[in-house]
Amino acid sequence: MNVPNHIAIILDGNGRWAKAKGLPRGYGHVKGCANLEQVCYDIKDLGVKYLTVYAFSTENWKRSREEVDGLMKLFRSYLKKCIKISKKNNMKMKVIGDVTAFAPDIQQSVRELEEYSKDFDGIYFQLALNYGSRDEIRRGMQKMAQDVKDGKVEPDGITEDTIESYLDTAGVPDPDLLIRTSGELRLSNYLLWQLAYTELYVTDCLWPDFSQEELEKAILQYNKRDRRFGGVK
């Protein structure tokens, strides 16, 4: 089985999973977070080198105050737990997105996690928090525009590689496979630049129920794809 080098996942369906069981939405997020930990182990064991997951978008602030507060509490706990997870998996971790919107203690936890795991090389894990692809591109282009103004970048010399170097994912290869749980057929402002030639796989399975078996189903479907990158074979 040909294993993708980089898998991106949209973790969707936590709230619906909880509602279907008569439980609060917050419990669905807790269960989803626990499942992410297990999926990290499964993905590493399969030999995947890069994993990027969409955990909290720039639009998710629109949810109820109760749900957002619960998510912030969960992030505080999860980011600290990631210290142990990163060591166990030899996993380098990076948070992509605009973390300046979070409380100072969460920002500090992000810095500590990235510093602690920076030399691990078993798998590279990008966690998208307060992430939106349009916002990522906007922030990147603001930086590039300033560098043009300062004479550090020549406009005529701007290439796709130049643009990529200003994105949150700079230096990381584009995803080979995107998995979206819960059956929704949209990208939801996720990695719009990076997903240009990524194979898409959508499953009705809700994220808390996404298992190693479901992961292997996605990879088997990936193996059936004919990746031409715009060319002809």
pLDDT digits over 99-141, tens only? 999 999 999 999 999 999 999 999 999 999 999 999 999 999 9
| 81 domain residue, yes or no | yes
Q: Is 135 among the residues known to form the active site?
A: no
Domain that residue 68 falls in: 6-132+173-223
Assigned token pair, 168: 């949150």
Looking at residue 226, its pLDDT comes to 81
| 49 domain residue, yes or no | yes
**CA-to-CA distance for 93 and 9, rounded, in angstroms?**
15
| 68 domain residue, yes or no | yes
Looking at residue 47, its pLDDT comes to 95
**CA-to-CA distance for 53 and 127, rounded, in angstroms?**
5
Q: What does the pLDDT look like over 148-172, one tens digit per residue?
A: 999 999 999 999 999 999 999 999 9
Q: Is 98 among the residues known to form the active site?
A: no
Q: Identify the segments of the chain with pLDDT beneath 70.
A: 229-233
Assigned token pair, 109: 């936890």
| 19 domain residue, yes or no | yes
Looking at residue 76, its pLDDT comes to 96
| 57 domain residue, yes or no | yes
Active-site residue, from 12, 168, 174, 176: 12
Burial class of residue 133, CB neighbours in 10 A (0-12, 13-18, 19+): buried
| 152 domain residue, yes or no | no
pTM: 0.95
- Please give the mean pLDDT across all residues of the chain: 96
Burial class of residue 229, CB neighbours in 10 A (0-12, 13-18, 19+): exposed
Residue with tokens 């969460």: 106
| 155 domain residue, yes or no | no
| 143 domain residue, yes or no | no
Active-site residue, from 5, 42, 60, 135: 60
Decide: 203 and 179 in contact? Cβ < 8 Å.
Answer: yes
Question: What CATH number is associated with residue 68?
Answer: 3.40.1180.10
The total number of structural domains in the chain stands at: 1
**CA-to-CA distance for 193 and 55, rounded, in angstroms?**
18
